[in-house]
Amino acid sequence: MEECNAPRIAVAVVTMGNRPAEVEALLESVAKQDHAPARIVVVGNGCPLPDFAARLALPGEVTLLELDENLGCPGGRNQALARLRDFGDVDIVVELDDDGLLVDVDVLRRVGELFTADPRLGIVGFRIADEHGETQQRHVPRVGASDPLRGGYVTGFLGGGHALRTAMLNEVGDWPAEFFFAHEEIDLAWRAADAGWKILYAPEILLQHPKTSPARHAIYYRVNARNRVWLVRRRLPLPLIPVHLGIWTALTLLRTRSREGLRAWFGGFVEGLREPAGERRPMRWRTVWRLSRLGRPPVI
């Protein structure tokens, strides 16, 4: 039986309509949770949606949003958050990739317990692993080849599976919709950290997700570079901007083997310099120090 003072949790899923079987399996795994979500929102990002509520025995209130155009991952998530904000009765939002799966039935209950135990906890990042239990290095929110099973406070979180406290979102703002894809998690994490909210990596909370590469997206190289420039223009103190961009340019040159990819990356870099980056709200130096103490200075 759920406690009467347990936080009200919503689940949000954004899909482009190209994974109907995966979305259905994900929603079935949500329905099996031993802490039922109060609300479920599924966003069709420029696509129609099947009537999941009629086809599946889903708990809570189910809302299907069909957007006229693809707003990108952060834009789609913002639409889900706006609808949940209209209801005004949700404490935590769990956002899941549409091709993910909750293997364990206690995910939402564990999430609620973590947030209840620490009122300054703003974000919980899940461990992402494939069907063989393997976690890619890029899915571990620490520098280097860290142990994916070692949890603790971190400086960022994984976009594929995470939970956000609505009070934190109300204070720092929602996702940067203009990013469309890439680095939106860093922008939100830095804003949360600068406002004094904690970010916890909880590897015991698992989202099963197929092994992928971000470069599978045709726009990857261009928006990766453009958004990196936008990110530092928006969030870093001026002296750190050239340091951050210099390090990432060097790493890109070392890692990228595709000539076409490099051409697109540098095109996006120039676009990031020329185009408006949005509101500039740089983090405080004490936040720089805090992130550095957690193992990831905001220049790496």
Sign of CA dihedral 215, 237, 185, 84: negative
Q: What percent of the chain has pLDDT over 70?
A: 96
Which regions of the chain does DSSP assign to beta strands (E)? Answer: 9-15, 39-44, 61-66, 92-97, 121-129, 152-153, 161-165, 198-208
Rg (CA), the chain: 19
Confidence of residue 179 (pLDDT cuts 50, 70, 90): very high
pLDDT at 1: 45
pLDDT at 218: 55
Confidence of residue 162 (pLDDT cuts 50, 70, 90): very high
Of residues 258, 276, 274, the one with CA closest to residue 220: 258
* Pair type for strands 121-129 and 39-44: unpaired
pLDDT value at 144 more than 80: no
Domain boundaries, the chain: 9-212, 215-280
Rounded Cα distance, 206 and 16, in Å? 23
Segment 33-43 shows an average pLDDT of 97
Overall fold of domain 9-212: Spore Coat Polysaccharide Biosynthesis Protein SpsA; Chain A (3.90.550)
pLDDT at 219: 82
